[in-house]
Structure 1
């Protein structure tokens, strides 16, 4: 029988070690306590938000005699360039730099309000709307005119709209301008900076331009000190067409003569002087507005005409754009299985995966493939608003359009403000191409831009030298002089790219290469001019393109099919954060949260200028030293 082993006494702990061990235990306990408090605090906050949402009973019913207040702020876009969480955070923190308004949302609200008996009238304030072009504005103007024709009164107010925003305000029954405001129509202008002297003479940077087409002026600022004769000729031609159409649209809405408006611009100095320098009074004299009233006076007027409501920020029964869209979304048409899918290609065309607001050779192709593989999708509308970009990425997307047609699904292109160069490349093979008369299109051409900094380095005493196994090893290095034979290689690539472009357009449009070359060579056209030259089939907006696609797929009336936008899917986390930030409790918490502000500042995307696109294209060569670009610096 074994004897029990007596316990071994634990060694006596050193007092110093015991102190530090105890201190560590206290710190560890405190750490766990703080984390637990933070966890349960956030959990409690989320539960409060959830209960608030449930207790609110969802969207409150819209009352009769409601005024729809349309006061959009930010850039007018085809597609949001940020995710829902970022947008909700920006709104909660009052960051207006990130504000964007989707064209489709405004059109949907106006279309619904036309037949909505609960909407009595519309208050329109577009001072803070930043449009990107006249095609989208004219589409909105048509929707406003249709709403007005349906018997819904539209009252517009402005504290100082620009001429682009005024195109929308002019559609109203009554246009009021603040007495201290101003409104000037000045015409369209397109001016750019030219860098040849600064680059070549000051910095010693030589820029080599390779292109096909004397009108392909995208990169002229890097090799000239002023616009070429061809660039001025082409720009004035399409801009003059768009401007005359603008005058016609304003004159029709205001019951004036286009010549009368043009005369007011030509005699602007005398007219303003006669009005005592009062721009608001001058606008009234020109009959561009119906009266001079403050915002408070306009709101009081609408309160008299509508239903006064002390709880409303406007003083009358109203619903804003976001609230009205919630009303429309409360009854989605999910039961319709047959679909017309809309894929948006907005922004510069680059290779690979690109976020919303840009066009990626891989990512946009993936969206088109999704439409092809979905049996519920019977037709596709490709909405294009792009200045173009990389040729290969454009070709990837064009191939997917062809694949859709081969799968028996009609494809109709709807051009927005801009569908030029690479933007036209991805459009050309559609069954039908729609554009607004003021769309900027064409620019069928290719260019390559190669900077060389050898002379600049020489100025600071830096020289490049080394060896290579062949005469062309390292020949594309921008710190070495450009060999003329290398220039021949690049020009051959550009020539081939232009031949591909014109050949594919000729095949897609049923024309000869010579006919396409005659309207190509980099020249830009308005939508109306493009139609006259066979580059566009019909003049019309997105609704017309959708109706055409549905008719080609034999889907019946609009009540028989559903329109669905195919876009990048939002992650569950983005949905949750967006929902939380969009709630009243979440917005109130984020508004006072320094942490949230720092998080937003880091998450917000930076605005990329056109030079950034060129820089990225030069850096990202995908294993090839030469990359052809089909890009158009032709926006207004």
Structure 2
């Protein structure tokens, strides 16, 4: 009995200690969050713009961001929404004299970079300066930074300017060795998401479409750099094609940069531009801190709160259920659309879509809510880096669709994958199966055997029916014939620039253009932007984040570089049998 009480006491003490530790952690997090909001922007300050993490559509409600907690550290992520609003605010902020763009990886799609680039170009209308400096310029970072008044690179730095590439990983060889056959049912000549599982190289149709849309993206990239740097676009193509820029001095020679400087030299130049003594520190504020500083966003001042525009963020792969800020759950997004539709204060809706697609059923559930919303108030779609396949499905019913020239969209097609693992189970593992059934098709979908001709015909009919629903929805939404949509469908991927020409989008423009269009259609001038869906609360967000960090950290340590393949296999698992409307596994380098 004495031993029992000893264990009980030890347990109670342990629980108390853990609670005390968690209390201090929570207090620390709250204090850190509070201190972030107390940033004071001094006179003659420079806004430091640097991107070293992924850029989500909106800033996550992550209380652990930037903290080293339980051995799991994480950088702060700033959403595109706060990036754009901060640059807009800095344009009229008398404390900010200019922007300093510095070392960034810019891990974002080309259309996301375009949004930031557009905001920087608008900032320049204030006549304030923009200076860019980096030790390494990736093409993506340079595309954004090229709008600066002066672009500098470290004399020993790295400057990438070689064109774009697109690569697909094929799994057929590995599946053959394992004795697994990927049974493919699809509609769409260009629907290439399934190709990695039954081919060992790109089909002619896929090569044709990737060549076309990658060429369009590259043309947009060269056009942007050409306009900013005042260099002929054809000359830029030759510079990249012949890899003429191999060292920083080459970048200066071909006028892609304005000088070779070390950071201290650039900081001295910034001091001169801000009338700061050279022997004193440059006054600056980091973008995340500026985004959280009091008065960093005046959107809510002097506005009529009874006139609202709902900004609904739909980002990530589309599936059923709740989803989160990084994935589109049909329940969560549908609920957000209903809430906005039923609110008397919401006069118009902007649906921000950044998705490669996913479940066709979940996409249809969201499409229905978009269609219902359109009947009672204006709904405008703003497309991000991707709005393809299921991402286009949920967009097509809107009143109007805005895309960036370099948005990847289209991919109107449906597919399903069902593995046949008979050889793996029977021949390699020695596992066999036997059983009884009450109906001919009771075991349809059994992975231990191949599909029969009848079963394949049934599944093909279901996929055909899904494609017919998809093309009909697009035809109705775009006011085109279904036959025409079929000619530009077939799973083919288009850029925003191409999509405008064939009628899949209405205008090329950014988020602000879409918001302005929504306000005009709703006939309101003074309005408040309200973000949907509601983000998780503090404690729920903290609890989920801790669990995710621990799981991810353990998996990454165990799998190492194979973690990327684990993620691909997880995606594949979700694709089995369930009809899919999604983009292929494509790695694009720019």
Partner Cα distance (1:210, 1:57) in 2: 52
Compare CA radii of gyration and give the structure with the larger one.
Answer: 1
Query: For residue 300 of structure 1, what is the aligned residue in structure 2?
Result: 268
Query: For residue 63 of structure 2, what is the aligned residue in structure 1?
Result: 85
Among 468, 473, 493, the alignment partner of 2:462 is: 493
Q: Are the structure 2 counterparts of residues 616 and 424 from structure 1 closer, same or farther at C-alpha, using a change threshold of 3 Å?
A: same
Query: For residue 372 of structure 1, what is the aligned residue in structure 2?
Result: 341
Q: Are the structure 2 counterparts of residues 382 and 311 from structure 1 closer, same or farther at C-alpha, using a change threshold of 3 Å?
A: farther
Q: Are the structure 2 counterparts of residues 166 and 210 from structure 1 closer, same or farther at C-alpha, using a change threshold of 3 Å?
A: same
Which structure 2 residues correspond to residues 146-545 of structure 1 after superposition, within 5 A? 146-200=122-176, 202-268=177-243, 271=244, 279-308=247-276, 315-327=281-293, 328-329=295-296, 333=300, 336-337=304-305, 338-406=307-375, 408-460=376-428, 461-545=430-514
User: SS in structure 2 opposite 1:140?
Assistant: helix
Partner Cα distance (2:412, 2:37) in 1: 51
Q: Is the 8 A contact 1:89 1:600 kept in 2?
A: no
User: SS in structure 2 opposite 1:419?
Assistant: strand
Partner Cα distance (1:389, 1:53) in 2: 35
Query: For residue 144 of structure 1, what is the aligned residue in structure 2?
Result: 120
Partner Cα distance (1:79, 1:199) in 2: 39
Which structure 2 residues correspond to residues 114-133 of structure 1 after superposition, within 5 A? 114-131=91-108, 133=109
The alpha carbon displacement at 1:44 in A equals 7.8
Partner Cα distance (2:6, 2:481) in 1: 84
Partner Cα distance (2:261, 2:492) in 1: 46
- The RMSD of aligned alpha carbons is 3.1
Partner Cα distance (2:289, 2:275) in 1: 18
Deviations 1:71-110 (A, max 9, x none): 1220122135x642242546997835x6533111111111
- 1:104 equivalent to 2:104? Answer no
Give the unaligned 5+ runs of structure 2: 556-563
User: SS in structure 1 opposite 2:423?
Assistant: helix
Q: Is the 8 A contact 2:381 2:400 kept in 1?
A: yes
Partner Cα distance (2:528, 2:52) in 1: 29
Q: Is the 8 A contact 2:33 2:63 kept in 1?
A: no
Deviations 1:328-363 (A, max 9, x none): 357662663111111111110001111221001111
Among 33, 47, 51, the alignment partner of 1:72 is: 51
Partner Cα distance (2:519, 2:507) in 1: 16
The alpha carbon displacement at 1:38 in A equals 7.2
Partner Cα distance (1:210, 1:494) in 2: 7
Among 531, 550, 554, the alignment partner of 1:601 is: 550
The alpha carbon displacement at 1:159 in A equals 0.9
Query: For residue 588 of structure 1, what is the aligned residue in structure 2?
Result: none
Q: Are the structure 2 counterparts of residues 417 and 24 from structure 1 closer, same or farther at C-alpha, using a change threshold of 3 Å?
A: closer
Q: Are the structure 2 counterparts of residues 477 and 149 from structure 1 closer, same or farther at C-alpha, using a change threshold of 3 Å?
A: same
User: SS in structure 2 opposite 1:179?
Assistant: strand
TM-score, normalisation: structure 1: 0.83
Q: Is the 8 A contact 1:348 1:358 kept in 2?
A: yes
Q: Are the structure 2 counterparts of residues 603 and 246 from structure 1 closer, same or farther at C-alpha, using a change threshold of 3 Å?
A: closer
The alpha carbon displacement at 1:601 in A equals 2.8
Partner Cα distance (1:110, 1:476) in 2: 53
Partner Cα distance (2:242, 2:226) in 1: 18
The alpha carbon displacement at 1:402 in A equals 1.4
Q: Which moved more, 1:26-35 or 1:534-543?
A: 26-35
Partner Cα distance (1:203, 1:37) in 2: 50
Aligned length: 574
The alpha carbon displacement at 1:576 in A equals 8.6
TM-score, normalisation: structure 2: 0.89
Q: Are the structure 2 counterparts of residues 184 and 91 from structure 1 closer, same or farther at C-alpha, using a change threshold of 3 Å?
A: farther
Partner Cα distance (2:20, 2:416) in 1: 58
Q: Are the structure 2 counterparts of residues 577 and 305 from structure 1 closer, same or farther at C-alpha, using a change threshold of 3 Å?
A: farther
The alpha carbon displacement at 1:480 in A equals 1.3
Q: Are the structure 2 counterparts of residues 99 and 480 from structure 1 closer, same or farther at C-alpha, using a change threshold of 3 Å?
A: farther
Q: Is the 8 A contact 1:59 1:330 kept in 2?
A: no
Partner Cα distance (2:48, 2:36) in 1: 23
Give the unaligned 5+ runs of structure 1: 1-19, 273-277, 582-595, 619-625
User: SS in structure 1 opposite 2:63?
Assistant: helix
User: SS in structure 1 opposite 2:155?
Assistant: coil
Deviations 1:161-210 (A, max 9, x none): 2101110111101111111111121112111122323322x222111111
Partner Cα distance (1:199, 1:32) in 2: 52
Partner Cα distance (2:541, 2:264) in 1: 38
